[in-house]
Amino acid sequence: MTGRLKTRLALAALPFLTVLPVALIVIGAPPERRVSIENARAIAKVITRAYDIDVARHLYGCPTVLLWLTLVTLNLTPTLTLAVAYDMVSADVRSGAIGMMLTRSSRLELMVGKAFAATAVFCAVLGVTHAMVWAVAIGRGYDSPLLMLKWGCLLLCATCGVGMANLAVWMLVSSLSRRPIVCFWVGFGVLSLLTGLHAEAHAKAPSWDGFTPVSVDGLLLSGQALRQWRGVGVIVAWYVACLLSAATCLRVRDLR
């Protein structure tokens, strides 16, 4: 088993080792804790700190376990996607495999193929993780199956959309250097910058928040069709721009 395969398997298991235990702890809480005033206040405080009042109002009817699951997933997604994608291009460039790949496809086709593959794997892992939580919650009678599935599908789509935008950014970062370690630290710096911009925009210019991969979830979870479509547009724009830039970077730097 190659080092890269071991890394991929470890990263694929990471959501199960992080998101799933946290959600199961919430599910395992006794009924009185689920409906307590203290718990409701804690949830409301977390939501209003992360999102504007419209999003918080929309999420008020969401089952608690799905809300905690989604918040944990969204906070982990930028880091998880960075770990998955930071070497997807640079490792192939360093090993020389990129040359063989480019004999059968263009640089843009290569970027699109890699991005789609990474997105499919990441979303599949998230889907399985979330579905396991839904099954446990429904089995314990936490909420009605219809309500759990309705909210679960909505929140899963939002987390997958955020993951899609982040993966495209890290694909671009991965095309900047032949050395994966350099790409990782560049990606870490970009992640820190985007997180800082989100914090500033959320505090000082809320109308401009939601235009980065680490903040677009606020649009997707708003419950307002116009804002949700704007969130989809933001994701598509980042995806297309980053993949085109990555293909251009390979062409200009002649990394073949």
- Tell me how far CA of residue 6 lies from CA of 2, 12, 56, 179, in angstroms: 6, 10, 40, 19
User: Which of the pair, 107 or 208, is modelled with greater confidence?
Assistant: 107
The yes-or-no verdict on residue 43 having pLDDT over 80 is: no
Higher pLDDT, 27 or 123: 123
pLDDT beyond 60 at 254: no
pLDDT at res. 238: 93
Digit-coded pLDDT (tens) for 151-170: 999 999 999 999 999 999 99
Task: Using a pLDDT cut of 90, give the percent of the chain over it.
Answer: 16
What pLDDT shows up at residue 167?
92
What is the pLDDT averaged over residues 221-246?
A: 90
pTM for the predicted model, two decimal places: 0.84
Give the residue with greater pLDDT, 189 vs 68: 189
Which DSSP letter does residue 96 get?
A: T
Label residue 236 by pLDDT band (50, 70, 90). Answer: very high
Task: For residues 243 and 168, give the distance between their C-alpha atoms in angstroms, rounded to a whole number.
Answer: 6
Looking at per-residue confidence, does 5 or 256 come out higher? 5
Calculate the average pLDDT of the chain. 79
71 versus 161: the higher-pLDDT residue is 161
Rounded Cα distance between 183 and 225, Å, is: 37
Mean pLDDT of 109-123: 88
Residue 246 pLDDT exceeds 60: yes
Domain boundaries, the chain: 3-253
With contact defined as beta carbons under 8 Å apart, do 59 and 67 qualify?
yes
Above 70 in pLDDT, residue 69?
yes
| pLDDT confidence of residue 15 | 65
Contact 55, 228 (CB under 8 A): no
- Return the higher-pLDDT residue of 110 and 96: 110
Q: Does the pLDDT of residue 89 top 50, yes or no?
A: yes
Beta carbons within 8 Å of 217's beta carbon, 6+ residues apart: 74, 158, 159, 161, 162, 231
Closest C-alpha to 152, from 132, 128, 134, 126: 134
How does residue 44 score in pLDDT terms, banded at 50, 70 and 90? low
pLDDT tens for each residue of 220-229: 888 888 888 9
Higher pLDDT, 215 or 246: 246
Q: What is the DSSP string of 6-36?
A: HHHHHHHHHHHHHHHHHHHHHHTS-HHHHT-
Residue 35's pLDDT band (boundaries 50, 70, 90)? very low
Residue 101 has pLDDT above 90, yes or no: no
Please tell me the distance from the alpha carbon of residue 154 to that of residue 117, in angstroms, as a whole number.
22
Q: String of b and e for 16-28 (b: at least 16 CB within 10 Å)?
A: eebbbebbeebbe
65 in Cβ contact with 137 (< 8 Å) = yes
Among 72, 160, 86, smallest CA distance to 119 is for 160
CB 93 within 8 A of CB 255: yes
